Structure 1
Amino acid sequence: MYISTLMITEPYFNFTSIQESMNEILFEEYQFQAALRINAGSLSAHRYFHENSQELCCIVVDSGFSFTHIVPYCRGKKMKDGICRINVGGKLLTNHLKEIISYRQLHVMDETHVINQVKEDVCYVSQDFYNDMHTAQLKGEDNTVMRDYVLPDFSSIKKGFCKPREEMNFTGKYKSGEQILRLANERFAVPEMLFHPSDIGIQEMGIPEALVNSINNMPEEMQPHFYKNIVLTGGNTLFPGFRDRVYKEVRSLAPTDFQVSVVQPPNPISYPWEGGKLLAENPDFDEMVVTREDYEENGHFICEEKFDI
């Protein structure tokens, strides 16, 4: 059995050499009958417009493993002048957390998978950074930010977990053989990099600033439509408090007479996949793909023309 048609996602502004290599692999090596190369954000926008057919514009925040993209779409087409990339993604956050823990408590530089799990289990986006920082410095039970995380030993404890607050021992170490990480300001200081990359020396805008900057690059009459259709996708948007913080900061930067609405889908990770599923069922889908016959006749040129990546 072989798959006749393939839809594959790639980053924005991918290198031409990579695109051409991908065309060759798809059509020459794997012999697909037809293929579509597309951006994940375009699939998310397709899903959003399918649910909100009355809307003409939306702006997609795609914050994933390697970086964060902010991309405006109008009538299903991406507006290239407004695309903004921030070089902060889940990988950077995990690596930064590894460095902090290794410096303060325990050498975990080789434990990427475990620390990634710690990040997903205990980190959150602060709504008031300085107030949380003050709380994280308090002693004992007054420190409501502090959490103890039990690391896995892969025999009796297969997966790490956060100790319930009532079971935490504020006076000293635990008697059992559990290996504990005690986390305080790391919990919110790590996700804060998405909002202030300059905290660790990356001279770029945070997500709310980049959103406003991207919208400001759009025609004036379209700007109100983008502000009320901000769509969050990607794994980093799952941090508790992420959506509220984006809304609060964009609201403070946007013109007061514009409505601001930030939409977080139930599953922001699979949202582009759902868009791809809808697109594949679209009657116009056959017009969007490049067939092997097209490729053999016209080469890379036909892919460049049709895919508009």
Structure 2
Amino acid sequence: MATLVLDNGAYTAKIGYNHEKVSVIPNCQFRSKTSRLKTFTANQLDEIKDPSGLFYILPFQKGYLVNWDVQRKVWDHLFGKEMFKVEFADTSIVITEPYFNFTSIQESMNEILFEEYQFQSALRINAGSLSAHHYFHMNPSQLCCLVVDSGFSFTHIAPYCRSRKMNEGISRINVGGKLLTNHLKEIISYRQLHVMDETHVINQVKEDVCYVSQEFYKDMEIAQLKGEENTVMRDYVLPDFSSIKKGFCKPREEMVFTGKYKTGEQILRLANERFAVPEMLFHPSDIGIQEMGIPEAIVHSIQSMPEEMQPHFYQNIVLTGGNTLFPGFRERLEADLRSLSPSHLPVSVLLPTNPICYSWEGGKLLSHNPDYDEMVVTREDYEENGHFICEEKFDI
């Protein structure tokens, strides 16, 4: 029987059969300024000639799946002929859900998977649990690990002991990639150019030029210098979607510090925004969000665990999710944790080579596990016992 692994994130869906490679596909629909009436789904984004002013229709709001119509259309597209050609009657699915998901959302998901698509069997699990499974598989001698998953809507911190999640230690910070992009849009719109409708373009700017500062105040001082002394400043060439299809950062040696560029390129000049935006992950209070930053939340989470386990958590911190890809993220987190944690305990933070697909890879490993058949709910089980059997089996 084929097993399909779907890490159903709020921004991208990571999907693939357990014997193949993963595909990362936008988990939403789009409408473009030029063709308002046509809706594009998932990876049809590539067909849009002019993605400026792109309007996103997202199935997730604040990290929870609320728009089932959009989610169904995305799934229809993913499971359909163009993509994975799923034979539902012979396929088992591993699908992710957020921590502390609402019962109503879980029941809707059970119904859609079993009654509409009619999968042979299903396993609904947290993405962090798959990441932990991946980590323990690679490090069999370790007993504990702490998964830090910083995604589109939230950042979750979840301790695991021997693949079991410790619910009392799970923390959530309401800061994710969406908030960072929106904040960057506001800063640029206020200082330079109105870009509030350009989510797609500014998200790309964020990924291309932002980084996590190791010494925030020192970088702030550099960002205030004039001319070539300002080593933080970068010029970003915005796409016009005819000759420039994708925005890019001008090489430092080509930057003009006095006067204008001769070419007709549209330029964004970025200085302290480059590190002030990702800084929100470490100090949300900078923009008035009354919450802990990631380092404090990790310490808080570890301190809620039994004392003899705490050293193990500090040594096995695993980073997943798109925000961990900012240059300097891992080093800064390790340095901040070092100053907050007890001095006699070693601190070790691991950034996998592909933190976005780390939990999907964990799902792939789990589906090859000899106990996999014990974990899933089959369609017969579901038809006989309804939601009750899913509740009983999936809260692992």
Query: TM-score with structure 2 length normalisation?
Result: 0.77
- Residue deviations 1:244-303, cap 9 Å, x none? 000001111111111110000000001011101100111110000001111111111111
Match of 2:359 among 263, 272, 288: 272
- Write the distance in 2 (CA, Å) between the matches of 1:259 and 1:126: 23
- Write the distance in 2 (CA, Å) between the matches of 1:204 and 1:305: 33
User: Quick check: 1:135 aligned with 2:222?
Assistant: yes
User: Quick check: 1:221 aligned with 2:291?
Assistant: no
How far is the alpha carbon of 1:172 from its aligned partner? Answer: 1.9
- Residue deviations 1:155-209, cap 9 Å, x none? 0000000000000000022111100000000000000000000111110000000
Query: What code does the residue aligned with 2:233 have?
Result: M
- Write the distance in 1 (CA, Å) between the matches of 2:259 and 2:162: 59
User: Quick check: 1:84 aligned with 2:199?
Assistant: no
Going by fraction, where is helix more abundant, 1 or 2? 1
The number of residues matched between the two structures is 309
- Write the distance in 2 (CA, Å) between the matches of 1:302 and 1:248: 45
- Write the distance in 1 (CA, Å) between the matches of 2:291 and 2:159: 19
* Unmatched segments (≥5 aa) in structure 1: none
Residue aligned with 2:336, SS: helix
Going by fraction, where is strand more abundant, 1 or 2? 2
- Write the distance in 1 (CA, Å) between the matches of 2:193 and 2:159: 43
The structure with higher relative contact order (CA 8 Å, sep 6+) is: 1
Query: What code does the residue aligned with 1:167 have?
Result: E
1:181-196 residue pairs with structure 2 within 5 A?
Answer: 181-196=268-283
How far is the alpha carbon of 1:2 from its aligned partner? Answer: 1.1
How far is the alpha carbon of 1:105 from its aligned partner? Answer: 0.3
Query: TM-score with structure 1 length normalisation?
Result: 0.99
Residue aligned with 2:313, SS: helix
How far is the alpha carbon of 1:119 from its aligned partner? Answer: 0.2
Match of 1:166 among 244, 253, 271: 253
Query: What code does the residue aligned with 1:42 have?
Result: S
- Write the distance in 2 (CA, Å) between the matches of 1:40 and 1:53: 20
Partner of 2:87: 2
Query: What code does the residue aligned with 1:143 have?
Result: N
Query: What code does the residue aligned with 2:146 have?
Result: I
User: Quick check: 1:152 aligned with 2:239?
Assistant: yes
1:157-306 residue pairs with structure 2 within 5 A?
Answer: 157-306=244-393
- Write the distance in 1 (CA, Å) between the matches of 2:114 and 2:277: 42
Residue aligned with 1:252, SS: helix
- Write the distance in 2 (CA, Å) between the matches of 1:199 and 1:308: 36
Match of 1:11 among 98, 101, 112: 98
Deviates more, 1:248-257 or 1:182-191: 248-257
Query: What code does the residue aligned with 2:173 have?
Result: I
- Write the distance in 2 (CA, Å) between the matches of 1:172 and 1:205: 43
Query: What code does the residue aligned with 1:172 have?
Result: G
Residue aligned with 1:266, SS: coil
Stretches of 4+ moved more than 6 A in 1?
A: none
Partner of 1:63: 150
- Write the distance in 1 (CA, Å) between the matches of 2:342 and 2:131: 26
* Unmatched segments (≥5 aa) in structure 2: 1-85
- Write the distance in 1 (CA, Å) between the matches of 2:166 and 2:393: 16
The percent of aligned pairs where both chains have the same amino acid is 83
